[in-house]
Amino acid sequence: MLKTNDTAVAVDVNKAQNESIEGPWQMAWKRFRKNKLAMAGGIILILLILGAVFAPLISPYTLDHMDYTQINKPPSAQHWLGTDQLGRDYLTRMLHGSRISLQVGVFAVLISVVLGSLIGGIAGYYGGWVDNLCMRIVEIVMSFPFLPLAITVSAVVGARLPAEFKMYITMMVIGLLSWTGLARMIRGQILSLREQEFMQAAKALGLSDKRIILKHLLPNTVAYIIVSATLGMAGAIMTESALSFLGLGVAPPTPTWGNMVQNARDFYILTNRPWLWMPPGIAIFLTVMSINLLGDGLRDALDPKTK
């Protein structure tokens, strides 16, 4: 083995270009900023969240305010989105509806991300019979088509509990049925990361297991988790609205966009009172679209190879 001299270290002569070294997160943020659609999606989402958070403050009326002189009125100066069959201001209901829809979306995703990461992480890290068991569970959950299963479980569980709990039931059902994709991905990530050369390098350098997990494995999976959570939220909101529309999710009088569209099941309302079912539908569409744009933008920014 030839010894190398201290002075034989190469000197970088390209100082004229002044290239700065960026970390992967800064590079990702830069890529993301360039994606105008994704930024637009993010901004719309922030506005929606603000609207939801401050709904009680910005709503023109209170949620249960019923004006019997103003039943079923189309949009007017007094009621920007009209009123429903109980004289409630529809704009108010829409704003409050956003709270529920977004809440269910966020919590359902939280549940599925936590479950998915845990199970995927445990399966990938420990391997052996633990891995086998976890993957069998994943297989079984995935053997059912999502929507029919969500419908069945929502109905069965919902029938056993009082109506106030329906929102939480919906959150749980969606969360408990959506974690499998992420679990598989994280398990796959961890399995491949374990074999990769930088892991062997880390071990050769003598890093402890915990440090390896925290500083090397986790950051690689975080990107997946962020993208999965964002896109998962879009799915959760869609599912909640579908379930509520079918009468199996959140039930009136609690407003959610899904059960507000449900009004259209009444043929007369469908035909003659479009302000009762179009705005919530459009709201769902805009929300899901902006989340999808945001999620796609995040995905492209965090892993440009998949463009």
Partner 1 sequence: MIPVILVISMCIFGIIKLAPGSPVGTNLDPRATPEQKAIERERLGLDDPMHIQYAKWLGRVAEGDLGKSFIYQKPVKDVIGTYLKNTFILNIPVFILAFGISIPVGIHSAVKRYSVFDNFWTVFSLIGLSLPSFFFGLLLIYTFAVKLKILPINGMIEAGSDSTGFAYALEVTKHMVLPGIVMTIGSLASYVRYTRNGMLEVIHQDYIRTARAKGLNEKVVIYKHAFRNALLPIVTLLGYSLIFLLSGSVITESIFNWPGMGRVLLESVTMRDYNLMMAIMMLYAILTLIGNLLADIGYALVDPRVKVD
Partner 2 sequence: MSKNILEVKDLRTHFFTDKGVVKAVDGVSFNIQAGKTLCVVGESGCGKSVTSMSVMGLVSKPGKILDGSSITYMGTELTKMSDDQYRAVRGNEISMIFQEPMTSLNPVFKIGFQISEVLMLHKDMSEEQAHQRSIDLLNMVGIPRAEAIVNEYPHQLSGGMRQRVMIAMALACEPKVLVADEPTTALDVTIQAQILELMNDLKVKTNTAIMMITHDLGVVAEMADYVVVMYAGKVVEEAEVKELYATPKHPYTVGLINSIPKLDEDREVLDSIEGSVPNPLYLPEGCAFAPRCKFAVDKCRKERPELKEVKPGHKVSCFVVQEGQA
Shortest Cβ 276–partner 1 spacing (Å)? 11
Task: Take residue 194 and report the two structure tokens written for it.
Answer: 């374990």
What b/e readout covers 126-144, taking b as 16+ CB neighbours within 10 angstroms?
eeeeebeebbeebeebeee
Nearer to partner 1, 118 or 135 (CB): 135
Q: Which one of partner 2, partner 1, none is in contact with 69 (Cβ closer than 5 to 8 A by kind)?
A: none
Kindly tell me which of 172 and 242 has the beta carbon lying closer to partner 1: 242
For partner 2, which is the closer residue by CB, 15 or 160?
15
Asked if 4 interacts with partner 2 (CB under 8 A), we say yes
Return the number of the residue (10 or 57) whose C-beta is nearest partner 2.
10
Rounded least distance, CB 52 to partner 2, Å:
39
C-alpha distances in Å from residue 133, one per residue of 121, 124, 145: 13, 12, 21
In terms of residues, how long is the chain? 307
Q: Are 115 and 137 in contact, with CB atoms under 8 Å apart? A: no
Our CA angle for 289, 40, 236, nearest 5°, is 30
Question: Least distance from C-beta 262 to partner 2, angstroms?
Answer: 49
* Interior/surface letters 41-77, b for 16+ CB within 10 angstroms, e for the rest: bbebbeebeebbeebeeebebebeeeeeebeebeeee
Interface residue with partner 2 among 10, 21, 57, 77 (CB under 8 A) is 10
Report the partner that residue 289 touches, choosing among partner 1, partner 2, none (CB closer than 5 to 8 A by kind): partner 1
Residues in 13-52 at the binding interface with partner 2, rule: CB under 8 A? 13-14, 16-17, 19
**Shorter beta-carbon distance to partner 1: residue 117 or 256:** 256
Sites of contact with partner 2 (CB under 8 A): 2-5, 8, 10-14, 16-17, 19
